[in-house]
Structure 1
């Protein structure tokens, strides 16, 4: 991913926190000589050696699953908030732009099965059920429901590289207050998300 130096985030702990908070991404790989992508949750975890991995699963019916092979290079893309930035918010005329956060994760895939796959599903369900009024868990699921595990392909991605773009008007110091003020007026979740991230850079 092309990232101008001003927008690179090399704080790995901050980026990992982003991945934990924005775990619904796009799994990119080759399918019969073409690029394919699947939108799925991928959880940041550590393997038996303490190294960072992404863990997820896709349906066996998905053609992409048939081409996932151990040691294959994989790309996973994750997006955060994003918003249009109007040039009318600048003190001096210039081109409008877009603020955003995007993270690309590169690594090698490994197919996971059996107890390892089941454990990954437990972690996934527990993470998103913890705030439910009546949380469900894999342990509570019937054998009939758990048979659906036979219809998925689990995987882990050993992370080789993380590229993180945090484009937050870092080159617009003089226009910072105007930009954040106008974004607050818009009030939608993406605009407010960008405001929150811009404010973090000032702390």
Structure 2
């Protein structure tokens, strides 16, 4: 990532928090000059990341043992209007992003794949687990043959948190509130509009 130091976060624990809070990742691999990009949730399995994608996805040929990969986790982001600042500024865009780079290990064992699905379900259902997936649920037996399951051994975490850090404290606080407000408002407006158009 482009690394202006005042936007760069060097604490891997902060990047991990982004991944935990926004687990729907962008998986990026490359073969020769062709990029492969897949959107999929990833959750922690110890210090590793674990995920699954459809076996019909051509990306799976690059999700094999030892292959390099980058997973991108995007947190909240928004346009920041100069109107919210107490000082004169230009328009900008604030965002929270984490990159995890590492290598892939394919999980082939049926029980390991089912356990990974249970692990992911437990994580995504937290903190108030309304649904518990039983490891012996026979529906998973029908699903497993169509799943490519993998772990990522993360070698490097990189965080880019552009949060108006170069501004005065009052403007940093205003930008923080704008980031919170705009994400709540924009998501509601977009989803409602989408549903009106399609349903």
Place the TM-score, normalised by the shorter chain, in its bin: 0.7 to 0.9
| 1:188 to partner: Cα distance | 4.2
Report SS of the residue matched to 1:64: helix
Residue of structure 2 equivalent to 1:10: 10
* Matching of residue 116 in structure 1 with residue 112 in structure 2: yes
Cα distance change, pair 112–180 in 1 and its aligned pair in 2 (3 A) = closer
Give the Cα–Cα distance (whole angstroms) in 2 for the partners of residues 2 and 32 of structure 1: 23
Q: What's 2:22 paired with?
A: 22
Q: Trace 1:188-203 onto structure 2 (pairs within 5 A).
A: 188-189=183-184
Match of 1:149 among 133, 144, 159: 144
| Correspondence for 2:78 | 83
TM-score, reference length from structure 2: 0.81
1:173-194 CA-partner distances (Å, limit 9, x unpaired): 152344456567x554278xxx
Give the alignment's Cα RMSD to 1 decimal.
2.3
Contact 2:82-2:89 at 8 Å conserved across structures: yes
SS in 2 for 1:5: coil
1:81–1:190 contact (8 Å) kept in structure 2: no
Give aligned pairs, total: 183
The 1-side partners of 2:9 and 2:177 are apart by 24
CA contact (8 A) 2:12 2:159 kept: no
Is contact 1:111-1:155 (8 Å) kept?
Answer: yes
Q: Return 5+ residue gaps in structure 2 as ranges.
A: 187-199
Q: Please name the residue that 1:70 is paired with.
A: 65
Deviation at 1:33, TM superposition (A): 4.3
CA distance 1:180–1:161, change in 2 (3 Å): closer
Q: Distance in 1 between matches of 2:12 and 2:101?
A: 14
Look up the SS of the partner of 1:139 in the other structure. coil
Seen in structure 2, the aligned counterparts of structure 1 residues 37 and 187 have a Cα distance that, compared at 3 Å, is closer
TM-score normalised per structure 1: 0.79
1:158 shift after superposition: 0.7
- Closer, same or farther: CA 121–88 of 1 in aligned 2, 3 Å: same
Question: What do residues 30-68 of structure 1 show as CA deviations (whole Å, max 9, x unaligned)?
Answer: 25741011111111222xxxxx21110111011111332
Distance 1:158 1:181 in 2: 35
Match of 1:105 in 2: 100
Deviations 1:147-197 (A, max 9, x none): 11110111111111111011111111152344456567x554278xxxxxx
**How far does residue 89 in structure 1 lie from its aligned partner after superposition?**
2.9
